[in-house]
Amino acid sequence: MIEKISRNFFLHVSKNILLNKAAKRWGLRLGASQVVAGDCIEQMVSKVKELNKDGFVCTLDNLGEFVMSKEEAVAATEQIIQTLEAISKNKLNSQLSVKLTQLGIDIDRKFCVQNMYRILNTAKKYQIFVTIDMEDYSHCELTLDVLAELRKTYNNVGTVIQAYLFRSVQDVKNLKGIPLRLVKGAYKESNNVAYQDKRLIDENLLELIKIHLLSKSYTAIATHDHQLIDRVKKIVEENEISPDQFEFQMLYGFRNELQQQLLSEGYRVRVYVPFGTDWFAYYMRRLAERPQNITFALRGFFSK
C-alpha cells in the first residue's frame, strides 16, 4: 500500500512544471548524478567512452519533454543534432532516443515531424539508429502515427512498446519488422487502458518479446528484473534465436552487477544513458519505479 502511494506521488511530481523548471537551477541534486550522466555533452561523452571501453553499447537521451513553445522545441532539436554529431566525432558506439513532446508534438504535429526529419537526416548521415520513446497513453496513438509517417522515408527509426497497455500485443504485431524496445511502462495509467497488476504486466511483456522475436524482428528487451531476464534466456534458447536479433537494455546507474553479468555471458547489453539539465521528470519516474531510493535521494540533496 505504502509502495503504491509512493509511486503515485513521484509520478504526480514528475509532471509538475514549476518543479521541473526549478530543478534546472538546482543542478544534478537529489542523488540524480547517480543515474544521469552529466548535464552537458562533454560529461556524457566521457561516461559513454568508459562504457564502450568496458564492452557496453549505449543509447543517448538528451533529457527534456513537454516543451511549451516552438522556440524550446527548436532549441531541443538543435541540442539533439549536436548529440548526434558528438556520437560521430567521438566514435561512440551509441544510438539515440528522443521524445516527441520535447520536439513540439503538443504544439503542432507537422512542426514536430519537421524537427524529426532534421534529426533523422543527420542520424542517417552518421548511420545512427533513433528510437522514439513512448510516453503516456495520451501520446501512444499519435507516436505510432508519426512513426508510420517517418518509416516511409527512413529505416533508421523505431519506437518503444509498453507492456502494461492492453493494446500492446496488437501494436507489436502491427510493427513486425521494425526494431522495438519492449518495456513494462513507467507512467501512471488508468485501469481502463492498462494492467495494474505486476504479474499481468510481466506476463504481457514476455508475450510481446516472444511475438517480436518469432517474427524475426530485432528486439531490445528493457528490464532490470533478473527473473524476467532468465525467462527470456529460455525463450531464446528454446526457439534458437540468433544473438544478433536481440539485446538487453538497462538504465545508466541501475543494477550494474547484472549488466556486467549479462555482458560476461556473451549477450549484447545496451545502457540507456540520459544527460542534460532537464533531468527532473526522468528521475522522479525512476524513483516511482524504485521507491526505496528515496533515502539516497534525500541524502544526495542534503549533502550539497
Greatest mean pLDDT range, 15-24, 32-41, 176-185, 284-293:
176-185
Report helix, strand or coil for 178: coil
* CATH code, domain with 211: 3.20.20.220
Which of 29, 181, 270, 285 is catalytic? The answer is 181
How many beta carbons lie within 10 A of that of residue 242, not counting itself?
A: 9
| Residue type for position 162 | Q
pLDDT, one tens digit per residue, over 76-121 is 999 999 999 999 999 999 999 999 999 999 999 999 999 999 999 9
Q: Is residue 27 part of a domain?
A: no
Asked, for residue 250, whether it belongs to a domain, the answer is yes
For 58, the domain range is 37-278
**Sign for the pseudo-dihedral over CA of 156, 90, 44, 267:** positive
* 8 A C-beta contact, residue 285 and residue 10: yes
End-to-end CA distance of the chain: 32
Question: Using CA atoms, how far apart are residues 123 and 101, in angstroms rounded to an integer?
Answer: 19
Separation of alpha carbons 133 and 160, rounded Å: 6
Q: Could you tell me the three cell numbers for 235?
A: 525463450
- Sign of the Cα torsion 67, 71, 74, 75 reads negative
**Which candidate, 288, 293, 300, 296, places its Cα nearest to that of 9?**
288
- pTM (2 decimals)? 0.86
181 assigned to active site: yes
SS3 at position 58: strand
Cα–Cα dist 165/185, whole Å: 8
Tell me if 15 is assigned to some domain.
Answer: no
**Signed CA dihedral, 259, 178, 208, 233: sign only:** negative
Q: Report if residue 3 sits inside a domain.
A: no
- The answer as to whether 270 is a domain residue is yes
What is the 8-class DSSP label of residue 194?
Answer: B
Query: Does residue 66 have a pLDDT over 80?
Result: no
Which candidate, 75, 81, 88, places its Cα nearest to that of 45? Answer: 88
Check 39, 61, 133, 171 and give the catalytic one: 133
96 in a structural domain: yes
pLDDT at 241: 97
Residue 237 lies in a domain: yes
Looking at residue 146, its amino acid is: V
Domain count for the chain, please give it. 1
Report the SS3 class of residue 290.
coil
Tens-digit pLDDT profile for residues 140-166? 999 999 999 999 999 999 999 999 999
Classify residue 155: in a domain, yes or no. yes
230-282 residue pLDDT tens: 999 999 999 999 999 999 999 998 899 999 999 999 999 999 999 987 766 66
- pLDDT of 3 higher than 70: no
* 106 carries an active-site annotation: no
